[in-house]
Chains A and B, each alone.
Chain A
């Protein structure tokens, strides 16, 4: 019989595991970028501009400079020189264009643009002085309203790296749509959303006596930030270390370096002091956002709902200086089998900052439109919405003409529907009630790409038998620390307390930004590889030990458990791992490993995560109030490495979807060209009272092709499709089809 105590002490991949960084986080021991100190630390406060477009005529810093404690006020007039070429400012995930350069010149490109940095001996003095910096402007006519420029949309001439443009059309979608007996043709929109992670953007630059910089930055990629800083400021890589050991949420806004990083390093270099710059909550609304996107969906089907035509066209807003792109329309050609498909994606320029990736970028928008339209088609064709999805189920990817590495979406539909009780649904809108509330049941499909990115990791074993696994990846609250420690513990059969995970430091083995749901699968695969190599090195060393029990076996003949290497065939013959290290006259032995996508697999296969979401809403129709009372989200994402953290990821995605569906909206005053509700009182995200039952199911999905470890990634799939399922439930409850998120009281009453 298995020894329970041992099982608990020695975790394995797939076992629900508590966060190893949890105690640090709940006790305040985890330090974030704005919480590091230096002896002579200066504090920077950003002054944000108030017009959307034009030039700064004058900027008066004299009153600010007169405040006691103020050391310098940097503006475009006195900023130090930085790199000339655009390429130096382009980070790993930059879209095509000319990246914004803080304090570069007198030009104003968007409202809220940083126009000065006040640096003082105290935060209070800097803030006080910042209010006294007075700029006068020569405003120029601006346009921030996408509707005003959507007629001038264009196909982006340069594609953004890593973002697949829409596939070539297949069949003849227009002709097929024209003659389809059942049709849906509608326009869908989602309001501008700002990422709003809990932790504001912050950078603390600690400058040592020799001028070397340790930069504590809020970022999703320490090495991306490091490359940006060395490029822009002409520094050597060996003189700049970027640390992001803890990140208080990011949702994509931390993929690109933000302006406080530039300003903090600029000030530290110019003043030869350590400097910290923290943005305010309001200034968080001067950064990137999820772009407003106008989507038109046309679906044509046979009477039973079999799709014969899909057309999906999107126009998205971007800035005047970069062509931000994301995958909005491709999902419509991927998710369902259809021979006549035409997909197009265009941009239109407005006078705002460049939009950026925000949790499931593109898919959150595109799949909302697609899955809303599918629900409309179900009613138009008179078939059950779930049945419609099954009727059009895609067994291979028609966009790329490739097979799926795995696709257990049918199980998602089946298990989700069973758990939710979908079969008890009455089809007619407005047919279900609970007292005076209308009840609505809606469903949708979710999909997100599954991939790994080239990532390195190191495994290191000390003479005391303690394992450290490390990589320059980030943990933005997703559970990377835990999954790395769990992987190391699993590889060596060690209790998790005997494993330390290190990440969030640019000096660690190379890793990409944490995004795209690839971190867990990539990093843990690299950790497995590093551990394998370290185990082989340990085996070799152990064979050379005097009286080694391993002299006559090869590597496959040994096992690792509880801090020992043993003969697989005779567990009594074992050596402590620490002893092996000591026998090599070392304090530690280490090995590096890596993981990367397999190009041969990629030629034949594509990989995606999928989900089926079922939602119950209750609507007080007279007052327009919608409550989401129940959500079941069934997810197929390959092997689930840590079901506990994975569930949390899905819960977070679902709650974020509730926000997008019902609450989140950044209001722009187009007269002023400015976002107005820039605080947490007026920019609404769900609160506890909004969130009721959420049930997460992970269906079995064996996958040996996406990543060596068998995982796909779950950071984003929870949000995709969930907004549509909520909107579809609102339709079922009320008979009102709302195609413009968020679904607020006024839209229900309209």
Chain B
């Protein structure tokens, strides 16, 4: 771990100014990922800006009937907030599928958006990695890639984004509020994370000096038909091999609205609006679910060890859509898959 300076920001303005003054600085909130990465010499910031005193830890109603979640709201507080649990149970469920209670107590909403891949090579400075050290190469492509991406990969990087929370937020059409040197703006969730392309070192479309202040959920009601299913190598405390967030509106036996996003399969939460469009106006059932799954995986590509994920994702999409349609969302405590 490299030595670093530490500054504490007392308000948003101070944080933005501190960030502008040292663009190589890193923001620290819960630190559940950043501190590990610093210990591994993967992140080597010269300055760390602590934003834990900023007033960004509330959940507020928006004028349009949605909720605005402060960037510092912890994953635990968010999951158990009564408004989230009642109106956005998909988000609660995804949060509770992730990490452990201890980590959720510390991890924040903004930090969760910015957590970095769990690629083995990214964490190991004894190996090349284009994301950690651009141009050094990607051993994962022909190496150990059981946990790697099958969608949206590039010849530079096949890493995945590890978040559960973000998969639900993508499905719920959230917006990310940021403040930067040019003032405040919002970024559609779809546009927040990026694919690796030839710049795998960049996980998001944040600009230098940007600070996440909130995530906004629109006022939409998927409470009757939703599910978050996470498949992994043990029953808890493991990152997703494949996870699926599904949210449906069903009227008179027909799907009137559909949302479908996947985790563990790409460099970003993988929402597929074309598959959603196919589901819309269809009759819920294996036929339409399978067609949607096929659509999602149309461009999927395996790299050997992770090739099973294509079939697994297909099965998981079908099952999650069924759970959502049946109104039997996956429990995150009873480990039996519904």
Q: Which residues from chain A sit less than 8 Å from chain B, CB to CB?
A: 48-50, 111-112, 124, 127-128, 131, 282, 437, 618, 620, 622-625, 627, 662-663, 667-669, 671-672, 674, 676-679, 681-682, 684, 686-690, 744-746, 749-750
Q: Which residues from chain B sit less than 8 Å from chain A, CB to CB?
A: 1-3, 39, 41, 118, 120-121, 123-127, 139, 142-144, 146-147, 231, 233-239, 241, 308, 311-312, 315-316, 319, 335-337
What's the nearest-Cβ distance from chain B to residue A391, in Å? Answer: 37
Please name the residue on chain B nearest to A659 by beta carbon: B234
Checking A663, A671, A678, A750 against B233 with a beta-carbon cut-off of 8 angstroms, the contacting residue is: A663
Complex Cα spacing A624 to B311, Å: 11
A749 lies within 8 A of B311 (CB): yes
A676 lies within 8 A of B118 (CB): no
Given A127-B39, A131-B125, A676-B124, list of 7 further CB < 8 A pairs?
A: A48-B126, A623-B231, A623-B316, A627-B335, A669-B143, A689-B237, A745-B308
How many contacts A-B (CB < 8 Å)?
A: 106
B234 lies within 8 A of A131 (CB): no
Contacts of B127 in A (CB 8 A): 50, 669, 672, 674, 676
CB within 8 Å for A689 and B126 given contacts A681-B239, A750-B308:
no
A623 lies within 8 A of B337 (CB): yes
What's the nearest-Cβ distance from chain B to residue A616, in Å? Answer: 13
* A-B contacts, 17 listed (Cβ < 8 Å): A48-B126, A124-B1, A128-B3, A620-B336, A624-B231, A627-B235, A671-B143, A672-B139, A676-B124, A676-B127, A677-B120, A682-B147, A684-B234, A687-B236, A687-B237, A689-B234, A746-B146
Complex Cα spacing A689 to B2, Å: 37
What's the nearest-Cβ distance from chain B to residue A535, in Å? Answer: 51
B142 lies within 8 A of A671 (CB): yes
Please name the residue on chain A nearest to B241 by beta carbon: A745
What's the nearest-Cβ distance from chain B to residue A124, in Å? Answer: 7
Complex Cα spacing A745 to B315, Å: 12
Complex Cα spacing A513 to B238, Å: 35
Contacts of A745 in B (CB 8 A): 231, 233, 241, 308, 312
B234 lies within 8 A of A686 (CB): yes
B319 lies within 8 A of A677 (CB): no
Contacts of A127 in B (CB 8 A): 1, 39
Contacts of A749 in B (CB 8 A): 308, 311-312, 315
Complex Cα spacing A540 to B58, Å: 79
B308 lies within 8 A of A623 (CB): no
Please name the residue on chain A nearest to B121 by beta carbon: A676
Complex Cα spacing A370 to B143, Å: 32
Checking B126, B144, B238, B241 against A50 with a beta-carbon cut-off of 8 angstroms, the contacting residue is: B126
Please name the residue on chain A nearest to B123 by beta carbon: A679
Complex Cα spacing A697 to B237, Å: 31
CB within 8 Å for A663 and B234 given contacts A623-B312, A623-B315, A676-B144:
yes
> Looking at A618, A668, A676, A744, which has the most chain B CB atoms within 10 Å of its CB?
A676
Contacts of B121 in A (CB 8 A): 676
Please name the residue on chain B nearest to A48 by beta carbon: B126
Please name the residue on chain A nearest to B311 by beta carbon: A749
What's the nearest-Cβ distance from chain A to residue B326, in Å? Answer: 12
Complex Cα spacing A246 to B213, Å: 48
A672 lies within 8 A of B143 (CB): yes
B235 lies within 8 A of A687 (CB): yes
What's the nearest-Cβ distance from chain B to residue A111, in Å? Answer: 8
Please name the residue on chain B nearest to A111 by beta carbon: B126
Complex Cα spacing A50 to B236, Å: 32
Complex Cα spacing A677 to B233, Å: 13
Complex Cα spacing A452 to B238, Å: 41
Complex Cα spacing A620 to B335, Å: 11
What's the nearest-Cβ distance from chain A to residue B96, in Å? Answer: 12
Complex Cα spacing A676 to B142, Å: 13
A676 lies within 8 A of B143 (CB): yes
